[in-house]
Structure 1
Amino acid sequence: MGAERRDTGAKGGDDVVALLWRGATPVRRGPRPRFSIDGIVTAATTIADARGLDAVTMQSVAESLGTTKMALYRYVPGRVELDALMLDTALGTPPPAAAGSPWHVALTDWARSVHARALARPWSVELAQRPHVPGPVELAWFESGLAALAGLPLTGAEKLDTLALLVGHVMSLVRQQPAGASPEADLAARLAPVLAERAGEYPHSLAAFTGASSGARDDALRFGVARVVAGVAALADERG
């Protein structure tokens, strides 16, 4: 990434918050700006979609827009701010929950939606797992997930922890799983010759990976989400 700024000091943090929550841009006198923040973010995400996050630099974004990176600094102060803007647009707005869905169905659908959107843009996972301030779109995902939990006897912190568990599970799967692949089946296939030769040393691993090789693609997603939801349901029942 060269010498592009990645610090998260107070000034940089203020810039990030201001850009993420900028709202409507006020009309100014004078020539119309050549670029917009939304246009710059779209150019950056297009590069990330095609070539990965490492290909995104202020220079590469500027070249795709036919300008210089110094010109972009008038709109986006640096890479920290650009990363934050990219993350906040990466997953798009959350889909509306089906009317009348029980909480466990709504929460499961929410987790599956996060997974599907992140899998379509796996570069977003790296950005999401860095310390950052949520923008309006990311906060809308939180709002949607919290709405599913609204009627349960959980504290606010417990509801946030529930979403964190689900997001952590989903993001870990996306990191392992290129689009169209099954990480469990792939790993099982690669280990099969070794485990076959050393079955006596690793009998439990052999049994587990043999079962995984025949599982459905989304078994890990389904299993993990279901276990978190079941745990929350048990806690809610315990508290009445």
Structure 2
Amino acid sequence: MTTEYSGTGDPARSLALLWRTRERTSRKGRPDLSVDRIVRAAIDVADTEGLAALSMRRVAERLGVGTMSLYTYVPGKGELLDVMLDTVHGEDPPEDTPATGGWRQRLEVIARQNWDRYLRHPWLLQVATTRPPLGPHLIARYEHELRAVDGIGLTDLEMDAIVTLVGGFVHGAVRSAVEAAQAAARTGMTEQQWWQAHAPYLEKALDPRRFPLAARVGTTAGQEYQAAADPDRAFTFGLARILDGIETLIGDRAHHRGTER
């Protein structure tokens, strides 16, 4: 469930922090503090304690300083969240991504990078980003993702739509993987252990005459996954189908151009 929204801070102050055009310091500023240190501490809080625990006071405690000292560098939680989002999107710089392969391979790498980012920072799923922070890392990421589909016969709007489609698919698909990991951590029981404990009872209770497809398909899937679901397999399958659809679109565009000649 979404608990926070990006873009809620003061636009001028958020942009100044995102682009580091003006690191807000004063005579009262602490020499051992900086925007980068504060942001990293905030990310650590969100990673280890969850987004609900994030507050200026909690970040100050993590740094061992007074809460008011943070405001010399960061105006408030809204601006801090924007910089946190931009920062984690800079953890795997686009220039570190292999530029080889066709558009399909490049999109698959991008999708996997996004998937891994959510697993590293599950709190990202709790932030609505319809008003994204317009920081250097997010814009660099957008530029990089657009390059994956540049020059293959698509319009600018189609390129943007494809990047949005792949990003949205990953956002939805990774939720089950994050929830499975959180369930295992909180219950002390892996998905396989949970399935092995429940499967015998389900086999006795499920009437195949009443639910023939659920019994047949569910049994096959459960035996294969040794769990109720396999998020990584579902992600791989779904991404392949999306890429198939994009390939069809590219083929249609090429065919249309050929018939116009």
- TM-score band, normalised by the shorter chain? 0.7 to 0.9
- Which residue in the other structure is 1:237 paired with? 251
- Which residue in the other structure is 1:89 paired with? 87
Deviations along 1:96-155, one digit per CA (max 9) or x if unpaired, are 332431110111111011101211111122225453333211222212211110122222
Q: Say if 1:186 and 1:32 are closer, same or farther in 2 by CA, change over 3 A.
A: closer
Deviations along 1:38-90, one digit per CA (max 9) or x if unpaired, are 01001111111211111111000111222222221121111111111111112
Q: Say if 1:13 and 1:212 are closer, same or farther in 2 by CA, change over 3 A.
A: farther
93-102 or 136-145, which deviates more:
93-102
CA contact (8 A) 1:153 1:236 kept: yes
- Count of residues paired in the alignment: 233
Q: What's the Cα RMSD here? A: 3.3
CA distance in 2, matches of 1:137, 1:49: 19
Instruction: Mark the runs of 5 or more structure 1 residues left unpaired by the alignment.
Output: none
Counterpart selection for 1:202 from 181, 202, 211: 211
The correspondence of residues 124-139 of structure 1 with structure 2, limited to 5 A, is 124-127=124-127, 129=129, 131-139=131-139
- Which residue in the other structure is 1:20 paired with? 18
CA contact (8 A) 1:108 1:225 kept: yes
Q: Which amino acid aligns with 2:41?
A: A
**How does the TM-score come out when normalised to structure 2?**
0.75
Q: Say if 1:99 and 1:131 are closer, same or farther in 2 by CA, change over 3 A.
A: closer
**How does the TM-score come out when normalised to structure 1?**
0.81
Q: Say if 1:6 and 1:72 are closer, same or farther in 2 by CA, change over 3 A.
A: farther
Q: Does 1:116 align with 2:130?
A: no
- Which residue in the other structure is 1:40 paired with? 38
Counterpart selection for 2:52 from 51, 54, 69: 54
- Which residue in the other structure is 1:168 paired with? 168
Q: Say if 1:155 and 1:88 are closer, same or farther in 2 by CA, change over 3 A.
A: same
Q: Which amino acid aligns with 2:232?
A: D
Which of 1 and 2 has greater Rg?
2
CA contact (8 A) 2:6 2:82 kept: no
Q: Say if 1:224 and 1:144 are closer, same or farther in 2 by CA, change over 3 A.
A: same
Instruction: Mark the runs of 5 or more structure 2 residues left unpaired by the alignment.
Output: 184-189, 255-261
Q: Which amino acid aligns with 1:97?
A: T
CA distance in 1, matches of 2:141, 2:175: 20
Q: Which amino acid aligns with 2:87?
A: T
CA distance in 2, matches of 1:72, 1:225: 42
- Which residue in the other structure is 1:143 paired with? 143
Q: Which amino acid aligns with 1:38?
A: D
Q: Which amino acid aligns with 1:222?
A: T
